[in-house]
Structure 1
Amino acid sequence: MTSSKSASAILGRLGARGAVLLVLLLAAVAAAVVVPLSAMSTEVALEMIGVPDPGVLTTAGLPAIRAIGELLASVAVGTALFAAFFTPPQKDKTLDVDGYRMQHISSWANIAWAVAAALLIPLTLSDVSGRTFVQSLPPDQWLVAINQIDVASSWRWAAVIAVVAAIGQRLTLSWRWSTIWLAVTVLSLLPVAATGHASGSTAHDIATNSLIIHLFSAAFYVGGLVAVIIHTMRGGTRVALALRRYSVVATVAIAALAFTGVINAMVRLHPADLFSSTYGLLVVAKALLLCLLALFGLAIRRRIIAKIESTNANAPVDRGTLLRIVLVESAVMAGTIGLSVSLGRTPPPAPLYVPTRQEALLGFELPGPFSFETVFGLWRFDLVLGLVSVVLLGLYLWGVIHLRRRGDSWPAGRTFFWVAGCVTLFITTSSGLGMFMMADFASHMVGHMLISMLVPVLLALGGPLTLALRALPAAGRGNPPGPREWIVEFINNPISRFLTHPIVASIQFVAGFYLIYFGGFYETLASEHLGHMFMNVHFLISGYLFYWVIIGVDAAPRQFTSMYMMMVLLSSLPFHAFFGILLMNYPTVLAEGWYAGIGLPWIPDLLQSQRVGGGVAWAMGEIPLFIVMIALAWQWYQSDMREARRSERQAERDDDAELKAYNEMLAQMAKADRRH
């Protein structure tokens, strides 16, 4: 116990310098792991791409800076997470002292992450061209790298997004804004998924999706852990509560890391190469480290959380023991980041066969024309929206079961609509339709209409926000907000009030169609897996936002009558119809280079496929709107019935005083008319 107290006291005296020293220590661990491991395969990699040795500043500096950059990004994510969700806001909804400290640290980490990403631009140019790092440093060379090398362009966007998050964190102290800057910070990791082997391998759609989940999970795991350490070192309050919440985050993150790690290994490795290649051995080493991290997490829960829960929730935390465990765990995680970066620098074993043109562009091979057999006979699990549909379905059913066990009822119709929406989303993204969407414009438009028009209608009719508010417990006075409070804040804040105005919701929903397809963006989005994923996510969110407001099953920041909603819906119908007609008559093939490069033999006329897609948009766009009109008419009818029942109850209470007063008024008017 003495050693625990002394360790805690020493770390506490370090104050703000302790956070800097901790990050420097972890950065040193990550660099110490990645540099020698990357050096093992540098010569082979340079020989494979056929460029001269750019020098030690590049061969050692690029992996080291990348590992340090990813660590800094994780710190920025973790401390922003802590500020937003692990500390309670003050009465005026601003961050408290602990939250402000964490957001301040996150801002500095974002700035450092942006600097590292910027340095990776000339380092990438040096690595690809074979010129030295010094020769790649002039500003004009940076422009060459950004314009001609996709990886360098990705680092540019990562730096820009990180700077935006850092500035935003310095300018705002509001708790609700802290969640937005957390989202922007997480978004800065997205361009990293476009680098490395994932974007260039066969099955790169699966590899890229799994890498996105992998990066986000690692950031929340190591970043949240660093935030807990800093909070404990500085003598912060509610350490036990923060540890419980982080334990939940860590459990989900470690499961996601293990799952996506297996997916990536299956995509890039043959089982025979697992122990016979450098890449395979690194994968095995990373798996062992993840198992070690899981054991550390178990130790935290058993030795710290269990002790607190068995005694008193307000009992003092054994900070010394906690710090010793999590410091070792964070060092192992930093080493794992270094190992992961070295994997990206190590060439995987050569594939057993030469991929076809379709596989090189799409990541998979389509067996034949679009048909019932090919759509429902092919399945390729979408690791993003397919997984989202499964998680949303599970959470919703958990809420319904929780209400039933409590003795409360929930309409079966709402459950039916939600299940139908989740199943439709899963089929659209994970069946053969999801595969054809990337290769054929007509198939893409079928998926687009389902994701943007039908799925959001079904989900909105399920009333998920109402279910969540009824099923989730309150966080308790003085505690950091929990999921229920986050939902309430999501509904009742100025941004939501603006976005959920029916006119604004209609404009963003309709304008997205025209901007993407006729604003010059579709060519770029269709030819990139991340662009395709962006379109799907955009269609789903914009559609749900529109129908959440229009249908009105869930509470919204603004309340309007069913008649008003019906008028807004009817006013949007011509724009949907005109979009389909415009597509059918558009003289230029959209994304012609992409579709021609795929060269599906059963689609000889790309313009005809586009016209079919326009017909699909025109025909399918009206069906969900018709469903919504029925729902609005039903709500209108129910509202009138409720008003009629209210009037009847009032009449029974006061012996129909309102009707008698009305009749008396008519009688008085009649007498007055007779006198005149």
Structure 2
Amino acid sequence: MDKPQRATGVVGLIAVGIGLAATLAALLVSLSGDGLYDLLGLPTPDAFTRHGLTVVRVLAEVGSVITIGSLLFAAFLVPPQKSGVLDVGGYGALRWAGGGALLWFVGALLSAPFLAADAVGRPVLDILSADTLLSLVGALSQAQAWLLTAAIALLVFVGTRFVLTWGWTTVLFGVALIGMTPVAVTGHSSSGGSHDMATNSLLLHLVSAALWVGGLIALLAHGRRAGANLPLAATRFSRIALVCWIVMAGSGVINALVRLPLADLFTSTYGLLVVAKGAALLVLGVFGYFQRERGVKAVVEKGAGGPLMRLAAGEVLLMLVTFGLAAGLARTPPPESAIVVPDRVELALGFPLSEPPTVSTLLFDWRFDLIFGTLTLALAGLYLLGLRKLRARGVAWPVGRTVAWLAGCLVILFATSSGFGKYAPAMFSVHMQTHMMLSMLAPILLVLGAPMTLALRALPAAGSDAPPGPREWLLALVHSPVSRALTNPVVALVLFIGSFYGLYLSGLFDSALPQHWAHLAMNAHFLIVGYLFYWPVIGVDPAPRRLPHLGRLGLVFASLPFHAFFGVVLMGMQTVIGEAFYRGLALPWNSDLLADQRLGGGIAWASGEIPLLVVLIALLVQWARADDREARRSDRRVDSGDSDELEAYNAMLKKMADRKP
């Protein structure tokens, strides 16, 4: 079979999978009848609109996983050439990503009018006039999310037409992952009780599913066209697939428990569909793992890719059918016992707040944040794993760095999952405390932990003739143009200080308050800009720009007036930031919003003292150690007679002597 026929076979397999998924989803929608519309109190649209919405969503979801999986394959599963240009396998995966992005774009673009027609109970053809469609889409956040997703998919598609290098392929991969978030954070999981848990678990579920399913499709396409480096790609993907399956299983269980009581799992149509989806994922995970390991072993030892490719084809087909099951589940009404009308606070935050914040509640009333809590545990675990590898080789590692890193992880966990994380969305003063912890204290501790240095020592080097691995990827990230630009002292200072003024004094914070995804974005932003600012200042890790110690000290002191002035501005304001949202919560212990805001301003003004002290101590210690090392090096050069300074001094004396008459 030649290569075009092989590629056609994979396309045909995907087409069959899409057809089965769409048919299954449409069948489930038909069986559910008008139950979902009756439950929501909405008029029932015609059959074409109902089934069409399900079909275009299947197209969009399949297109997204093909795009993300193919970009994953091109960036990390097959090595590029030494020049950084993608090799044949990476270029082929990039072409697949372009096709998937085009399918993703079409499905997402069509989802917006279908969703609008479904919401108002009218045929989709009746709302296609410009005025009607724009007004409906403007009133529906999820329709807007689909349009934003379509724009991101189009951007990725255009990028695949021009990108040829490894670096830009990784950028496209990141953009594609971002493209999955708009719909996830505006769907049914983003409303009602426990919507914080539901949204976070759905994000983890969708990303891990896209990496697993999409990566397998890309591996299958690569194997069918007899691409090189199949053993390497299969080995790397097998490790990723196991992690993705674990994340999918855990996040799926959490999402199901949030939506459905255990008693309804086997007594309702919705519950049975949840069980069926879970069973399919369990079978795929367990059976696929052992069979994949056997297939990978055969590829590595014997070069026989046929068994692995046949297994991959069957696994892809079953996965795509599971997508149809998930699409049908999204259109099936939950049982009445699972419908709980939350109160005003729970509807806005995702959880109730029944008592005012006290020292006890802030310290011990925890609600685990699935995104940042999981990230924190993963970062701590990876760091300890790297430390274990160093110790196994007899390599020493400073205890202070380990303590600093683990303390930084603990600060993130405490800021997002303790009572501070619970009360932060509801009270400006508590939010400001979490802001300070995430943007100032945690980044300082993390950069002192020297995670990149640890990773570079723990990870094995690929070698001159071996394909690049995680160590080489990390080095490429450190020395990339993006890292050089972001760690520029002026850029880092503007990002760090501008976050305070741009977020709170521009009205952006008022718009972000009602959205759970915006709180996730803010927390991520605080951590990233704080890390970028303190990395070149006190970071032990190699940085794209090495500042002199005096320049580092000047950068720290340059930020102090702006930080202090921001706190003073907040304390002197007569208008309440985010007043509409806070008034809507109507918390009895937070009636004086202006006083709470002034307290937040005082916290912003005063909380920089302790982090500043830590930075100054660390900077002075590093400066003294650097001078001590330089002095020892100079002494060694003098003792050996190779001192540049000594040679220069002797040359100067000789020149002066030659000038004398």
Q: Is TM more than 0.5 here?
A: yes
2:292–2:311 Cα contact (<8 Å) kept: no
Where does residue 399 of structure 1 map in the other structure? 386
- Asked whether 1:388 is paired with 2:375, we answer yes
Question: Structure 1 residues 568, 349: closer, same or farther in 2, change over 3 A?
Answer: same
Residues in 2 aligned to 1:91 and 1:669: alpha-carbon distance in whole angstroms:
52
Question: Structure 1 residues 121, 655: closer, same or farther in 2, change over 3 A?
Answer: closer
1:474–1:485 Cα contact (<8 Å) kept: yes
What do the CA deviations read for 1:401-435 (whole angstroms, capped 9, x no partner)?
11001010101010010010001111111111101
Equivalent position amino acid for 2:308 in 1? L
- Asked whether 1:578 is paired with 2:565, we answer yes
Of 90, 112, 132, the match for 2:103: 112
Where does residue 71 of structure 1 map in the other structure? 62
- Asked whether 1:301 is paired with 2:292, we answer yes
1:81–1:182 Cα contact (<8 Å) kept: yes
SS in structure 1 opposite 2:589? Answer: coil
SS in structure 1 opposite 2:85? Answer: coil
The residue correspondences of 1:387-536 to structure 2 (distance < 5 A) are 387-536=374-523
1:121–1:145 Cα contact (<8 Å) kept: no
Equivalent position amino acid for 1:65 in 2? V
Of 10, 17, 22, the match for 1:31: 22
What do the CA deviations read for 1:19-49 (whole angstroms, capped 9, x no partner)?
4323312211211221111222241112122
Residues in 2 aligned to 1:610 and 1:125: alpha-carbon distance in whole angstroms:
39
TM-score, length basis structure 2: 0.96
What do the CA deviations read for 1:275-332 (whole angstroms, capped 9, x no partner)?
11111111100111011111332243342123345xx3xx32232x222211111111
Structure 1 residue 57: Cα displacement: 1.3
Question: Structure 1 residues 601, 327: closer, same or farther in 2, change over 3 A?
Answer: same
The residue correspondences of 1:97-176 to structure 2 (distance < 5 A) are 97-176=88-167
What do the CA deviations read for 1:466-520 (whole angstroms, capped 9, x no partner)?
0000000123445442111110100111121111112211111111221111122
Structure 1 residue 669: Cα displacement: 8.0
Equivalent position amino acid for 2:152 in 1? I
Stretch moving more, 189-198 or 630-639: 189-198
What do the CA deviations read for 1:428-468 (whole angstroms, capped 9, x no partner)?
11111101011100000000000011000000000000000
Where does residue 313 of structure 2 map in the other structure? 327
Residues in 2 aligned to 1:42 and 1:581: alpha-carbon distance in whole angstroms:
59
1:87–1:479 Cα contact (<8 Å) kept: no
Where does residue 650 of structure 1 map in the other structure? 637
Stretch moving more, 535-544 or 16-25: 16-25
Equivalent position amino acid for 2:321 in 1? G
1:222–1:333 Cα contact (<8 Å) kept: yes
Structure 1 residue 221: Cα displacement: 0.9
Question: Structure 1 residues 148, 662: closer, same or farther in 2, change over 3 A?
Answer: same
1:88–1:478 Cα contact (<8 Å) kept: no
1:30–1:68 Cα contact (<8 Å) kept: no
Where does residue 544 of structure 1 map in the other structure? 531
Where does residue 329 of structure 2 map in the other structure? 343
1:18–1:230 Cα contact (<8 Å) kept: no
- Asked whether 1:256 is paired with 2:251, we answer no
Question: Structure 1 residues 140, 112: closer, same or farther in 2, change over 3 A?
Answer: farther
2:18–2:321 Cα contact (<8 Å) kept: no
- Asked whether 1:89 is paired with 2:80, we answer yes
Where does residue 270 of structure 1 map in the other structure? 261
Residues in 1 aligned to 2:275 and 2:269: alpha-carbon distance in whole angstroms:
10
- Asked whether 1:590 is paired with 2:577, we answer yes
Where does residue 602 of structure 2 map in the other structure? 615
Residues in 2 aligned to 1:35 and 1:218: alpha-carbon distance in whole angstroms:
22
1:650–1:656 Cα contact (<8 Å) kept: yes
Equivalent position amino acid for 1:494 in 2? P
Structure 1 residue 378: Cα displacement: 1.0
- Asked whether 1:359 is paired with 2:346, we answer yes
Residues in 2 aligned to 1:657 and 1:569: alpha-carbon distance in whole angstroms:
33
Where does residue 606 of structure 1 map in the other structure? 593
Stretch moving more, 208-217 or 492-501: 492-501
SS in structure 2 opposite 1:382? Answer: coil
Structure 1 residue 264: Cα displacement: 0.9
Where does residue 281 of structure 2 map in the other structure? 290
The residue correspondences of 1:49-68 to structure 2 (distance < 5 A) are 49-68=40-59
Structure 1 residue 199: Cα displacement: 1.1
Structure 1 residue 164: Cα displacement: 1.4
Residues in 1 aligned to 2:589 and 2:270: alpha-carbon distance in whole angstroms:
39
The runs of at least 4 aligned residues of structure 1 exceeding 6 Å deviation read: 663-673
1:85–1:480 Cα contact (<8 Å) kept: no
Give the count of matched residue pairs: 660
SS in structure 2 opposite 1:108? Answer: helix
Equivalent position amino acid for 2:331 in 1? R
1:500–1:558 Cα contact (<8 Å) kept: yes
- Asked whether 1:377 is paired with 2:364, we answer yes
1:390–1:422 Cα contact (<8 Å) kept: yes
Residues in 1 aligned to 2:120 and 2:648: alpha-carbon distance in whole angstroms:
91
Question: Structure 1 residues 272, 306: closer, same or farther in 2, change over 3 A?
Answer: same
- Asked whether 1:208 is paired with 2:199, we answer yes
Question: Structure 1 residues 480, 162: closer, same or farther in 2, change over 3 A?
Answer: farther
Structure 1 residue 62: Cα displacement: 0.7
SS in structure 1 opposite 2:34? Answer: helix
SS in structure 2 opposite 1:60? Answer: helix
Structure 1 residue 658: Cα displacement: 5.8
Residues in 2 aligned to 1:281 and 1:229: alpha-carbon distance in whole angstroms:
32
Stretch moving more, 349-358 or 201-210: 349-358
Equivalent position amino acid for 1:450 in 2? M
Equivalent position amino acid for 2:106 in 1? V
1:95–1:174 Cα contact (<8 Å) kept: yes
Residues in 2 aligned to 1:589 and 1:670: alpha-carbon distance in whole angstroms:
77
Structure 1 residue 15: Cα displacement: 4.1
Structure 1, unaligned runs of 5 or more: 1-8
SS in structure 2 opposite 1:166? Answer: helix
Question: Structure 1 residues 661, 390: closer, same or farther in 2, change over 3 A?
Answer: closer
TM-score, length basis structure 1: 0.94
Stretch moving more, 194-203 or 565-574: 194-203
Question: Structure 1 residues 361, 657: closer, same or farther in 2, change over 3 A?
Answer: closer
Residues in 2 aligned to 1:80 and 1:28: alpha-carbon distance in whole angstroms:
24
Structure 1 residue 234: Cα displacement: 0.8
Residues in 2 aligned to 1:661 and 1:159: alpha-carbon distance in whole angstroms:
65
Question: Structure 1 residues 655, 580: closer, same or farther in 2, change over 3 A?
Answer: closer
Report the RMSD for the aligned CA atoms in angstroms. Answer: 2.2
1:76–1:109 Cα contact (<8 Å) kept: yes
Residues in 2 aligned to 1:444 and 1:627: alpha-carbon distance in whole angstroms:
23
